[in-house]
Amino acid sequence: MLSGTLGPDVVDVGSLTGKGLFTYDPGFVSTAACESKITFIDGAKGQLLHRGYPIEQLAEKSDYLETCYLLMHGELPNAEEKKEYVETIMNHTMVHESIVNFFKGFRYDAHPMAMMCGVVGALASFYHDSLDINDPEHRKISAHRLIAKMPTLAAMCYKHSKGQPFMYPDNNLSYAENFLHMMFGNPCEDSKIDPIVAKAMDIIFLLHADHEQNASTSTVRLAGSSGANPFACISSGIAALWGPAHGGANEAVLNMLQEIGDESRIDEFVKRAKDKNDPFRLMGFGHRVYKNFDPRSRVMQGICDEVLGAMGAENDPLLRIAKRLEQIALEDEYFVEKKLYPNVDFYSGIIMKAIGIPTDMFTVIFATGRTAGWIAHWNEMISNPYKIGRPRQLYTGYTQRDYVSLDERK
């Protein structure tokens, strides 16, 4: 039996293999595949800690890049360390001009996540100088490059889909401001960035920075266990995040709002959601991990109201539907009893729509924020003794049989 500083005890089953036995745990929902000091979640309490700090405190008092530093280094930086770290990240925001040629190879209507998978993996072909995963300095440089370049690449995905010129980073801006500048700016005029929107964008990145051993983080660790370079590992995480059951949840919220279509149909869809025999589900309510409430959603709720006010989007038809659904979920006995509270995906989807970010870019934003957590987990694994991931299986196919020649098969 093994015990952590928080959370349930863990049964060490490593010796079972020598006895000819494996455990059977589809989805690994009862299996701890690693030891980590980065993030802790208590779903029953609605608790999310990064290196021991509650997510609510970080969202209120910190910012995304400081949280990146915390995840990677284990402690909050002092003033000098933060200044140096922010300057380092901002000095890595540009990408090689040859990256433009990669985007030219994609169709104009290519899904942004398809582009991100390909281009992030391709970064390894540009940085041969820092691919020794056993060198701590190389790992640190790669982490800086990935965190710095993800907003640039994300904005390039958007610009390519619009047929607009790519915008170079402006390192006089903050991380979130720079992203909005590259997304919505153009070479003909100065970017005008609303500070409320920039704050919301920074908090979206921060709230998505890490979430313990989820599907994409576990994918990054599994890929990294083979000794793959960090760019390939992060690309594998992007691929896992692309799935609608993981990173596509906030996109599903907007699709649901479009399906409802009009405020007059809300009661109809709420009734369907309560019917266990109806396949319709309200997206963005409840959470697989949090059995009480998603602590990130409480932060996003206040930010959502600020952004809608700043953008003058209170009367947008889909957003009016969303706000009415939020009210029902917080007051209706059925939702309250089952603890189906609005989660972070519900609010982040609303905010990004209000800002003007298209739905197919939502998961790209998620990937941009989550890169900090992915690279921190990858670095933690590589920094300690580790084994290549090799899950086992319960085989239920044929037993051994002899080959039958073609002319004898029926």
Q: Beta strand pairing status for 39-42 and 47-50?
A: antiparallel
Catalytic residue among 63, 294, 345, 360: 345
In the block, tokens 């989007």 appear at 313
> What is the CA angle 130-131-135, rounded to 5?
75
Q: What is the rounded CA–CA span in Å between residue 93 and residue 145?
A: 7
Is residue 211 part of the annotated active site? The answer reads no
CB atoms within 10 A of CB 336: 12
Q: What is the rounded CA–CA span in Å between residue 24 and residue 243?
A: 24
Which residues lie closer than 8 Å to 205 by C-beta, 6 or more apart? 64, 175, 176, 365, 368, 369
Half-sphere exposure of 203 (CA within 13 A, CB side): 29
Is residue 287 part of the annotated active site? The answer reads yes
CA nearest neighbour of 284 among 224, 211, 335: 335
Count the helices and strands in the chain (H runs, E runs): 17, 3
Catalytic residue among 73, 246, 305, 332: 246
Catalytic residue among 287, 294, 360, 377: 287
Is residue 160 part of the annotated active site? The answer reads no
Beta bridge partners, 342, equal 285
CB atoms within 10 A of CB 73: 15
Active centre residues (catalytic): 246, 287, 345
